[in-house]
Structure 1
Amino acid sequence: MPKKVTLKDIAAKAGLSPASVSMILNRRSIDRFNAETINKVFALADSMGYKNSRHQSYALIKPSDTLIIIICPSLFNPFYTTIIQGIEIAARKQGFVTSVRTTYWDTDTERFIMEQARKFNVAGVIFAMIPQQPQLAYELSQYLPVVAIGDRRGDLELATVDMNNFTAGQLVGRHLTELGHKHIAYLSTTLNDQHTSRVRRCQGLEDICKAACASLKVFTKEITPDYELSHIDVEYATGYELACKCLEQVPETTAIVTINDMLGYGAYNAIIDKGLRIPEDISLCGFDNIFPSQLHGISLTTIDNSLTECGKSAFKLLQEEIASYEHHGKFASITHVEYKCRLIARSSSGPAPQR
């Protein structure tokens, strides 16, 4: 049986210390070595058949010490592009570059991206949403710094930038019930355990409606990854469709809350096309406070989550984990940062009409 190749064997051939070889093969502080040395070590590892528990082979793998992978569902919704720009503002100041990968909420795609990140052992991974497969994300975090942005979950053993979506739902519910609304509808794309932010927003809204003795009707539409990929306007179209359904089936509705501002724009046009006025006949609220919501023609009441700052903080957490490994040989303890959400009341919401 051939002798197993060790770091010492490679180090002897390369004329380096085993510690240096380990840093290069694991891509830690790799910028302290020149390109010739790095290529030499990887070539030796490949030709000598070196393998370990992390890497099955070193052939055709190019090291990167400054590349960050950003994983997000899509780029059409400004919610994600705003977060991404926040990450890039902070990352580029520190000499890092980013590569954005989209999943369209497909778990196979998410798994593939994580496998590639581990294979190439990039500087780190930032999820612009909560991973759909928390266990896989946790396993990846044992090899690379991983940070997630979104609703805080007890089963997610990762550094996170948290958004308190339950509180956000409460803020919208309180705003509407204080305006006298007793018949409220909630419109959402797929509602399930993989979309906790949508569920928590609904729960927060429901909590206030119960306390105020207001009714809450929930309208949802299941969206598959393939459908989302092939329909760029899926959120707008879903908002329009569900708002029409709500107004036809529950005509006493005086306020509509959409899972995000993109659905809100679809609901806005549906209400107008039905010959109703906003907010005189129907109040409308969303979540996320993306840029178009402030335009005078829309002026959508919504929840602000400091998206750009969330992105910046996510990179900061990632950088702290990188520094922890370089200085102490291990990643930092799990850190959570939370930004307080706030209601932005605009002209799309007003007192409940007297029917």
Structure 2
Amino acid sequence: MAKKVTLKDIAAAAGISPASVSMILNRRSIDRFNKETVEQVFALVESMGYQSSKGKNYSLVKPSDTLITIVCPSVFNPFYTTIIQGIEIAARKQGFVTSVHTTYWDTETEKFIMEQARKFNVAGVIFAMIPQQPQLAYELGRKLPVVAIGDRRGDLELATVDMNNFTAGQLMGKHLLEYGHRKIAYISTTLNEQHTSRVRRCQGLEAACKAYQGAGLKVFTKEITPDYEISNVDVEYTTGYELATTCLRQSPETTAIVAINDMVAYGAYDAICDQGLRIPEDISLCGFDNIFPSRLQGIGLTTIDNSLTECGKSAFHLLEEEIANYERHGKFQSITHVEYKCRLVPRKSSGPAPQK
């Protein structure tokens, strides 16, 4: 009868301690060991026929040199799918492939995705939004290249592709104020510190209003939980419809509604029409992001463009730079920021304020 292979046998063959072999096989503190040692241990386990006392078979999920993990809240909103496609356009040209993971703004899901990216040693991670748990993203960034796309923040210790949402809000506010609007409403899904882009757009609108005498901004929001979001595919549309209806009922003096994004604006569009009002003759409607449906003639939504495809491409190029830095210096050390200027895209959904 053949002698049973033990951890000591694997350790002796690999030239490391049995404790190290155990950590590698059970993936405890595996990042302490270099890639060659990890691969050698798993190769010895396979060739020597080692099995644990519980009969567990071990096999190596080899580190990937070409797989990129993309993290995003959902793929229903074309805002995120456009960014993802921009990443993939650039990535595929360089021989990389992507794996998309959705969080629905759930922090535990976000944490799990980061843990899995580290465990399986992917080539890098791109967040299509600002991570809700920046500290965990920083820790991951010590082991893998990490890039984020989202609101411009000076305190974020990651390579980022920035969108200046404060300026975007100002641009939209100025557009409506120059049309004579003084009673403006802002409607948004959950508005808190974890959604800085939404807050900054609101702050930009408020700043614009302060520059015009008699101008004011009313804010209408609805808290959306991760469970509710994952269970309701059309959550942004329905939220837009609900908030616009509330706005028209509670603040009938409103002459312009600005939605947090184009998807929410579509819901507001139907709510306004269902109230028997005309766009833009009775009330103007605007959004943010300039996703594809907004340009259709039946919608013609005034919005803000953030060069989403180009943002995705730039995020991949930043990731490439991080990978190159690691190959040259043995660590991820650069924090690069790229910013695309937002621009107003005026369409038929906005016009002069009605004389009420």
TM-score by length of structure 2 reads: 0.87
Once the two structures are TM-superposed, the CA of residue 117 in structure 1 deviates from its matched residue by: 0.3
| Structure 2: distance between partners of 1:227 and 1:138 | 29
The DSSP-based 3-state class of the residue aligned with 1:243 is helix
| Structure 1: distance between partners of 2:246 and 2:176 | 21
* AA aligned opposite 1:65: D
Q: Which residue in 2 is equivalent to 1:186?
A: 186
Q: Which residue in 2 is equivalent to 1:14?
A: none
* AA aligned opposite 1:193: E
Determine if contact 1:134/1:155 at 8 Å carries over to the other structure: no
| Structure 1: distance between partners of 2:185 and 2:336 | 36
| Structure 2: distance between partners of 1:9 and 1:208 | 67
* AA aligned opposite 2:307: S
* AA aligned opposite 1:165: N
Matches within 5 A, 1:272-291: 272-291=273-292
The DSSP-based 3-state class of the residue aligned with 2:313 is helix
Q: Which residue in 2 is equivalent to 1:174?
A: 174
| Structure 2: distance between partners of 1:335 and 1:6 | 44
Once the two structures are TM-superposed, the CA of residue 22 in structure 1 deviates from its matched residue by: 2.8
For residues 166-200 of structure 1, what are the alpha-carbon distances to aligned partners after superposition, in whole Å with 9 as ceiling and x for unaligned? 00000000000000000000000000000000000
For residues 60-86 of structure 1, what are the alpha-carbon distances to aligned partners after superposition, in whole Å with 9 as ceiling and x for unaligned? 433211000000000000000000000
Q: Which residue in 2 is equivalent to 1:22?
A: 34
Count of residue correspondences: 324
The DSSP-based 3-state class of the residue aligned with 1:126 is strand
Q: Which residue in 1 is equivalent to 2:254?
A: 253
* AA aligned opposite 1:333: S
The DSSP-based 3-state class of the residue aligned with 2:348 is coil
Once the two structures are TM-superposed, the CA of residue 9 in structure 1 deviates from its matched residue by: 2.0
For residues 115-136 of structure 1, what are the alpha-carbon distances to aligned partners after superposition, in whole Å with 9 as ceiling and x for unaligned? 0000011000000000000000
Once the two structures are TM-superposed, the CA of residue 25 in structure 1 deviates from its matched residue by: 5.3
Once the two structures are TM-superposed, the CA of residue 5 in structure 1 deviates from its matched residue by: 6.1
Stretches of structure 2 lacking an aligned partner (at least 5 in a row): 1-7, 17-32, 51-57
The DSSP-based 3-state class of the residue aligned with 1:118 is helix
Once the two structures are TM-superposed, the CA of residue 327 in structure 1 deviates from its matched residue by: 1.9
Q: Which residue in 1 is equivalent to 2:231?
A: 230
Cα 1:161–1:25 change in 2 (3 A) is farther
Q: Which residue in 2 is equivalent to 1:340?
A: 341
The DSSP-based 3-state class of the residue aligned with 2:68 is strand
Q: Which residue in 1 is equivalent to 2:211?
A: 211
Q: Which residue in 1 is equivalent to 2:25?
A: none
| Structure 2: distance between partners of 1:352 and 1:239 | 21
Cα 1:287–1:326 change in 2 (3 A) is same
Determine if contact 2:142/2:331 at 8 Å carries over to the other structure: no
Q: Which residue in 2 is equivalent to 1:33?
A: none
Determine if contact 2:42/2:60 at 8 Å carries over to the other structure: no
Determine if contact 1:168/1:303 at 8 Å carries over to the other structure: yes
Determine if contact 1:5/1:48 at 8 Å carries over to the other structure: no
Determine if contact 1:320/1:332 at 8 Å carries over to the other structure: no
Determine if contact 1:170/1:204 at 8 Å carries over to the other structure: yes
Determine if contact 1:7/1:22 at 8 Å carries over to the other structure: no
Determine if contact 1:107/1:132 at 8 Å carries over to the other structure: yes
The DSSP-based 3-state class of the residue aligned with 1:181 is coil
| Structure 2: distance between partners of 1:268 and 1:119 | 45
Farther-moved stretch of structure 1 (75-84 vs 154-163): 154-163
Once the two structures are TM-superposed, the CA of residue 328 in structure 1 deviates from its matched residue by: 2.0
| Structure 2: distance between partners of 1:332 and 1:206 | 37
Farther-moved stretch of structure 1 (146-155 vs 182-191): 146-155
| Structure 1: distance between partners of 2:37 and 2:308 | 36
* AA aligned opposite 2:141: S
* AA aligned opposite 1:9: G
The DSSP-based 3-state class of the residue aligned with 2:188 is strand
Q: Which residue in 1 is equivalent to 2:323?
A: 322
| Structure 2: distance between partners of 1:258 and 1:5 | 61
* AA aligned opposite 1:252: E
For residues 258-313 of structure 1, what are the alpha-carbon distances to aligned partners after superposition, in whole Å with 9 as ceiling and x for unaligned? 00000000000000010000000000010000000000000000000000000000
Q: Which residue in 2 is equivalent to 1:18?
A: none
For residues 224-245 of structure 1, what are the alpha-carbon distances to aligned partners after superposition, in whole Å with 9 as ceiling and x for unaligned? 0000000000000000000000
Q: Which residue in 1 is equivalent to 2:15?
A: 9
Q: Which residue in 2 is equivalent to 1:122?
A: 122
Q: Which residue in 1 is equivalent to 2:142?
A: 142
| Structure 1: distance between partners of 2:154 and 2:45 | 40
Determine if contact 1:254/1:353 at 8 Å carries over to the other structure: yes
| Structure 2: distance between partners of 1:262 and 1:8 | 57
* AA aligned opposite 1:297: G
| Structure 2: distance between partners of 1:158 and 1:267 | 35
Stretches of structure 1 lacking an aligned partner (at least 5 in a row): 11-20, 27-37, 50-57
Matches within 5 A, 1:88-99: 88-99=88-99
For residues 89-148 of structure 1, what are the alpha-carbon distances to aligned partners after superposition, in whole Å with 9 as ceiling and x for unaligned? 000000000000000000000000000000011000000000000000000000000000
* AA aligned opposite 2:231: S
| Structure 2: distance between partners of 1:217 and 1:111 | 35
